[in-house]
Amino acid sequence: MENLPIFMNLKDRPALVVGGGTVAARKAELILLAGGKVTVIAPRVRNEMRRMIEDGRVEWREQSFGPGAVRGFRIVIAATDNDAVNRLVFDECERHAIPVNVADQPELCSFILPSIVERGPITIAVSTGGRSPILARLLKARLETLIPAGFGALADLLGRYRSAVKAHFAKLDDRKRFWERMLDGPLVNLATSGKVDEAERLIEQALRLPASPASEGGDVGRGEVWLIGAGPGDPDLLTLKALRLLQQADVVVYDKLVPEAIINLARREAERINVGKSMGHHTLPQDDINQLLVELARQGKRVARLKGGDPFVFGRGGEEMESVVAAGLPCLAVPGITAAAGCAASAGIPLTHRDCAQSVRFVTGHTRKDGMGLDWRALVAEGQTLVFYMGLSNVERICDHLKAHGMRADMPAAVIERGTLADQRVFAGTLATLPDIVRAEQPRSPSLIVVGEVVSLRERLGFVEAQCKRSADMALFAA
């Protein structure tokens, strides 16, 4: 370790910034955020710094830097384009034993300003020792995506209960075990999801337990179920929250259509249970899946229920949540990109378009009822796009019913096979031709059927789709 990471308290303490340009203004802003009192020494200042001076946020000494100017300051930052001035600032600070940072000149720094990730009272500093500020910013950006914004609220909550926990548990080891168990359970997700009141009640309940059982776990480590939308298939389309919970889960319960690449994002120690739901094949009936989720959570496990697309769009997520909640267990739904949105975008088909469709309907294409139990008159109305889920085996019936109820036979229609994945295929035609295309091409599940004028835009927007794929490849390469 080349530098000792230290968080310095600058509240109401004097700090000096030498320079009046854009970089100097950014440094002054950073010190102000930490509560410091900023003085600027510069013969001239640019607009950013001038606004700070006019607002009374910093004091300006309209002069050039000279010997003795650093006296009385706790830290000094130089941000000028004059190497001689920067060297003089460094030498003066060394002479008076004052910490100094010279922007973009690590050899003239006694401390380094890191890239910062901030969540309320939580501050994470990232530094490359001055070797590559751009790399530090890249690492910061990645950390920003991994740490939920609600962690600040969580830290505040823990701070409020620190004294109460200390009073409840006399021994340090007991306090440590208590907090470890609390942070290993539902508390984190409640607090970071904005449910601070529920998180407080959870702590209060735990503190009402006798000290010794609580220190051994008590009811603190009760299980919970997360209904996680896995999206349309591409792991890059998984939400940040879904990824975070997946990596915390003790058990992953998944359907057959969830890609292995997404399942493998779970931590290695997690148990994996395939409940195998797909068209015509059910490893477990839905009632048994509901009961399985309840039993696993009752064992104190954190259960990630992975479902393709969004759990509440033809995913029977409502039934599963109802069962878990009825059992008195916490259940959280994590939205996913539904297949209609993800697959249509990946295929270059906009679901709505000003000249073609002003609304979109998501319809189940999987039913054994005569007429499929659908309101076909409403489905053939103009100005809308239809997306049929689970309808591949019924594609001919769907097309026939639409035509029989008045939709023209040459209405554009398409099947999107394994949308968003590397082996995606799109078969475009019309209501009249699509069944024959499906028979000839034999697309696999999962597949979606899209019907509407917007399908005809695919060819016009094809170059956009290709550009998007190239851009994604370049972004992956750059990362």
Query: Looking at the annotation, which residues are catalytic?
Result: 255, 277
Residues 94 and 32 in one domain: yes
Is the pLDDT at 214 greater than 70? The verdict is no
pLDDT number for residue 248: 87
Confidence of residue 257 (pLDDT cuts 50, 70, 90): confident
The count of domains in the chain is 4
Q: Measured between alpha carbons, how far is 352 from 357 in angstroms, rounded to an integer?
A: 5
- CATH classification at residue 74: 3.40.50.720
Is the pLDDT at 358 greater than 70? The verdict is yes
Does residue 4 belong to any structural domain of this protein?
Answer: no
- CATH classification at residue 428: 3.30.950.10
Cβ pair 270, 250 in contact under 8 A:
yes
Does residue 119 belong to any structural domain of this protein?
Answer: no
Residues 330 and 398 in one domain: no
Domain end among 284, 313, 337: 337
AA letter at 221: G
Between 248 and 469, residue with greater pLDDT: 248
Which domain covers residue 191, as residue numbers? Answer: 151-216
The closest alpha carbon to 313, from 274, 292, 272, 341, belongs to 341
pLDDT number for residue 355: 84
Residues 325 and 237 in one domain: yes
Does residue 191 belong to any structural domain of this protein?
Answer: yes
pLDDT number for residue 218: 42
pLDDT number for residue 281: 56
Domain end among 337, 370, 400: 337
pLDDT number for residue 470: 46
Does residue 123 belong to any structural domain of this protein?
Answer: no
Please compute the mean of the pLDDT values over residues 209-230 and round it to a whole number.
67
Domain end among 113, 131, 162: 113
pLDDT number for residue 464: 44
pLDDT number for residue 439: 96
Average pLDDT, the chain: 90
Is the pLDDT at 467 greater than 50? The verdict is no
Between 305 and 5, residue with greater pLDDT: 305
- Structural element, H or E, at residue 393: none
Residues 332 and 254 in one domain: yes
Confidence of residue 463 (pLDDT cuts 50, 70, 90): very low
Is the pLDDT at 475 greater than 70? The verdict is no
Cβ pair 319, 290 in contact under 8 A:
yes
Q: CA angle 248-308-231, nearest 5°?
A: 75
Q: Measured between alpha carbons, how far is 416 from 77 in angstroms, rounded to an integer?
A: 58
Residues 232 and 273 in one domain: yes
Is the pLDDT at 280 greater than 60? The verdict is no
Residues 238 and 280 in one domain: yes
21-30, 182-191, 219-228, 315-324: range with lowest mean pLDDT: 219-228
Residues 238 and 194 in one domain: no
DSSP string, 20-38: -SHHHHHHHHHHHHTTPEE
Does residue 133 belong to any structural domain of this protein?
Answer: no
Is the pLDDT at 356 greater than 60? The verdict is yes
Residues 202 and 96 in one domain: no
Q: What is the pLDDT of residues 396-417, one digit of tens each?
A: 999 999 999 999 999 999 999 9
Residues 378 and 281 in one domain: no
Does residue 477 belong to any structural domain of this protein?
Answer: no
pLDDT number for residue 279: 54
Q: Measured between alpha carbons, how far is 57 from 30 in angstroms, rounded to an integer?
A: 12
SS3 of residue 105 by DSSP:
coil
Does residue 371 belong to any structural domain of this protein?
Answer: yes
Distance from CA of residue 172 to its chain's centroid? 35
Helix spans in 352-461 (H) = 376-379, 395-404, 434-441, 457-460
pLDDT number for residue 363: 96
Does residue 130 belong to any structural domain of this protein?
Answer: no
Please compute the mean of the pLDDT values over residues 19-29 and round it to a whole number.
96
Q: What is the pLDDT of residues 365-381, one digit of tens each?
A: 987 556 578 999 999 99
Q: What is the pLDDT of residues 145-193, one digit of tens each?
A: 888 889 999 999 999 999 999 999 998 888 988 998 888 778 988 899 8
Confidence of residue 217 (pLDDT cuts 50, 70, 90): very low
- Residue 78 — φ and ψ, nearest 5°? -105, 130
This prediction has a pTM of 0.68
Q: Measured between alpha carbons, how far is 456 from 460 in angstroms, rounded to an integer?
A: 8
SS3 of residue 44 by DSSP:
coil
- The strand pairing partners of 449, in sequence order, are 388, 415
